[in-house]
Amino acid sequence: MKKKAYLTVILCAIASVAMAQSFTVYEGSKTHGYNNESVDSIVFSPEKAAASSAEPRQVKGRWCSLGTSISWLNENTASCPLTKGYQTRVMEKLAFANFTNKAVNGGTLSSAVSSVVFADYYTIEHGINDWGHSTPVGTIDDYINNTKNGTFAAIYRQVIDRIFARNKKARVILCTPRKAYGYGGYLPDHWYDPLNGIYLQEYADIVRQIAAYESFPVADFFAECGGQRQLDNWSYDTALHPNDDGMQIMANVLIQAFEKILAEE
């Protein structure tokens, strides 16, 4: 009955406005007068939007994070001017039942093969150190055919095989490498420069190809987490490891990828 009464009042108010030549709107202590001829439509909205819940979404599953020092920093923020890593920021929105960080400080993709533990969800953040060490990129055929020829693509096949050997029902998100440059000559002066004839974008491209082949979602750090103009401001060094702003941007991208998976469950 209250709903009906409320709707009746609203409808009567609209009818009254329609018949009158002018009307007055009271907004707090302010009063606004309007002529009907100057108003096209009237939209009623709540005085205040409902506050969004600050509680994270509970996720029934274990997350294993594989990656480089960028991921390793999540449990090692005391060693740098950083308050928290991107994984902790993700878990402020998506509270996994368990989290294991198996990232390796300075590790290339090959370090992930032996780091895989049982989990329900896996993220793989690799490519930047393989660029720094000039690991041959390889091709999607190296991945598909499991060539074991030492290329980035072939090693990726070993990592994925190890994951599904641990859990046949695992859900996997592939992360393209974040752009970077410099770091005391470890990398070129620009992210788009070649290093020993290899471009960082080649690692990002092969990650996307593997993801497309396997129907894995992609957290595209390469495309969305800063270019040459922003990297220095979004890194606490020049310009490899993200600062708090850089970590938050990475977290936002990864949350979107996780939400795609969770929407299917």
- Please state the length of the chain: 265
Among the ranges given (50-59, 178-187, 210-219), the one the predictor scored with the smallest mean pLDDT: 50-59
> What value does the mean pLDDT take over residues 95-120?
98
- Domain range summary for the chain, segments of one domain joined by +: 2-38, 57-263
Does the pLDDT at position 50 exceed 50? no
- CA distance to 2, 158, 166, 198, 214, per residue, from 148 (Å): 71, 8, 20, 20, 18
Calculate what percentage of the chain has a pLDDT beyond 90. 79
| Predicted pLDDT of residue 18 | 47
Could you write out the three-class secondary structure of 76-122? CHHHCCCCCCHHHHHHCCEEEEEEEECCCCCCCCHHHHCCCCCCCEE
Residue 84 has pLDDT above 70, yes or no: yes
Rounded to 5 degrees, φ, ψ at 219 are: -95, 105
Q: Which CATH number fits domain 57-263: 3.40.30.10, 3.50.50.60, 3.60.150.10, 3.40.50.1110?
A: 3.40.50.1110
Strands ordered across the beta sheet of 94-101? 94-101, 57-67, 121-125, 171-175, 218-219
